[in-house]
Chain A
C-alpha cells in the first residue's frame, strides 16, 4: 500500500503573528472562511495579503470570500521538519493553484504518496491555532466529498503505513 503522508493533526501549532494588513484574513479563519484580497481596477485576486495592489500600486483593495478549490501546481515531501513539525515527517507542502487564479502554499493532507500529482483537484480544510484562528490546509477533493456523504475518513488514512 502506498505510504500515507502525515495529516499533521497531532501537531502543536504555534500562534501566527500577522502583519496589520493581513488581519482580515486571519479573523475570517475563525469561521473557517477564506478571504482573499481583490483588486477592482484589474479584476484580479492577489495572495499573500499586501498593503497595496501588486498590479497597480494603488491601495483600493477589497476582501472577498472564496471557496479555495483548486489543483496542485507543485509539491514537495518534507522529510526533515523543524520546530513543531519535527517528528511528523513525511508531510506534504504543496503550491495550490486556486480556481480564482492565485497560487497558495499549504500542507496537503489526507493523501497517499501515490495520489500526489500535479493537477490533483483539492479543496480547503482547516486546522485550529491556539488563539481560535485556523491554518489553511488542502485535501484531495474526493476526501471532502466522502466526508460530506457521512462516510467519514477511512481508518487506514489515519495512520502512516507503507
Chain B
C-alpha cells in the first residue's frame, strides 16, 4: 500500500466566528454528525481518530481521550496531532499510515479550536526565558524580524504583498463560512495604511484569532469503493520537515523546510509547480505565502515579489490561492486553522466550491506551518498534494 491508497471520502466545516458561544466539543460533534450524514457511515464504523492539539485543550494531557469520550466513539487507534498549524495536513498522512499498517480502517480527523472563547495555553518553551522578557509580542514580532531580513536580502515590495491580501479577501467574500467581520473588500491602500503591529508587519498582514472547526473522514480507497463512496480525494504526495538545520547557528531565515518537504511531496505526486491546479498555503502572515511560493519552486528564492506581480491568484486566475479566503481573510480558528485551507483544497477537488470553483481540479496543494523557533524560520513545514480519486 501507499499514501495514495487512502481516500478522503468527506469533509466538514463550521462557520468561523469571532468568539464562539458553543463549547469546542459541541463544534466537534457538529463536524462528526456532518461527516456521518454525508457518507451514510455508521458511527460504530469509525475505529480511528486524529485530533488536533488545541489551544482550548492545552493543559489537558488527556485531550484526545476526553474528546473521544465526549463524542461517544470506540476506537482502535487514537492520536493527538501536535505539530501546530501543520496538524491538519499532517493528520492526512498519519491517517493513511495508520490505515496502511492495519491499525484502523475508518479514521475521523478532527480539527477544532476555540481560543477566543477559552485559551488555556501555557507554553513551556524558550519563550519564557528568551522571548517574553524582550517584549516579543508573539508571532507578529517574529515575522517582523523575518520580513526585515527578507527586505535586506532581496528587497520587499509591499504592493505585491497587498495583492495576495486582496486576492484572499475577495475569496472570503465568496465564502459563507468565513468570519463575517472579514467579508469586506480591501484595497492596496487599505493594506499599506493598516496600522503597524511590529514593523514592517501591518494589521492586514496578520490573522485574526477566531473559533471554529473542521474535519475529514479517511478510509482505504478499496473500502471507499466497497461503500459506494466513489467521489473522494486522494493524498498523492506528502513531505514534512521539523526543526530545519538545528546545528547551524546563523541560518538564512528566508529559507524554510518547505523546500525539502515540497520537493518530496511533488516527487511522490509526480507533478511540478507548473501543474498545480490550486494552491492552499498556510497563511498566518502574508509574507509566509510569498516565502512558500519561493520554497516550493513556483519562482526562485528572492523573486517572490515579481512572481506575485505577474500572477493572477483569483479562483479563476493562473494560480488560484486560498480560495476560501485563507486564514487571514476567513479567520484563524486557533490550531484548527490549518484545516481551513485543507478543507478548501478538498472541496475544490470535490467540485463543490460554488461561486469560487476553480477550473483545474487535477490536483490541489495544501501546506502547513507549525511553531516558530528562536531566531530561525519555522518549526515544522508540511506540503500535501491532493488529487481526485475518481
Q: Flag whether B261 is at the interface (Cβ < 8 A).
A: no
As a 0/1 sequence over residues 4 to 20 of chain A, the CB contacts with chain B under 8 angstroms (1 = contact) are: 00001000011011110
Instruction: List chain B residues, Cβ under 8 A from A157.
Output: none
Encode contact with A along B104-140: 1 for CB under 8 Å, 0 otherwise: 0000000000000000000000101111111111101
Is the Cβ of A17 less than 8 Å from the Cβ of B375? no
Q: Least Cβ distance of B125 to chain A in Å?
A: 10
Nearest opposing residue in chain B for A129, CB measure: B133
Mark A76-110 against chain B: 1 for CB-CB distance below 8 A, else 0: 11111111110010110111010001111111000
Would you call B144 and A76 a contact (CB within 8 A)?
A: yes
From B133, B195, B199, B250, name the one whose CB has the most chain A CB atoms within 10 angstroms: B133
**Which A residues lie within 8 Å of B198 (CB)?**
76-80, 93
Interface 9-residue window, one of B14-22, B146-154, B174-182: B146-154
Query: What separation, in Å, do the CA atoms of A101 and B247 have in the docked complex?
Result: 12
Q: Interface residue count for A (Cβ, 8 Å)?
A: 44
Tell me the A91-142 residues at the B interface (CB within 8 Å): 91, 93-95, 97, 101-107, 118, 135
Let me know if B374 is at the binding interface, CB within 8 A.
yes
CB pair A19–B129 under 8 Å, yes or no, is: yes
Shortest beta-carbon distance from B228 to chain A in Å: 52
Q: A77-B198, A78-B135, A103-B375 are in contact. List 5 more A-B contacts (CB 8 A).
A: A22-B129, A48-B374, A80-B198, A82-B138, A93-B135
Provide 21 A-B residue pairs closer than 8 Å at the C-beta atoms, listed in order of the A residue: A13-B133, A16-B129, A16-B133, A22-B129, A48-B129, A55-B247, A73-B250, A76-B198, A77-B198, A77-B199, A78-B144, A79-B196, A79-B197, A102-B250, A103-B250, A104-B375, A105-B134, A106-B134, A107-B134, A135-B133, A135-B134
Binding site for A on B (CB under 8 A): 126, 128-138, 140-141, 144-149, 152, 195-201, 246-247, 249-250, 253, 374-375
- Which residues of A approach B to under 8 Å, CB–CB? 8, 13-14, 16-19, 22, 44-48, 54-55, 73-85, 88, 90-91, 93-95, 97, 101-107, 118, 135
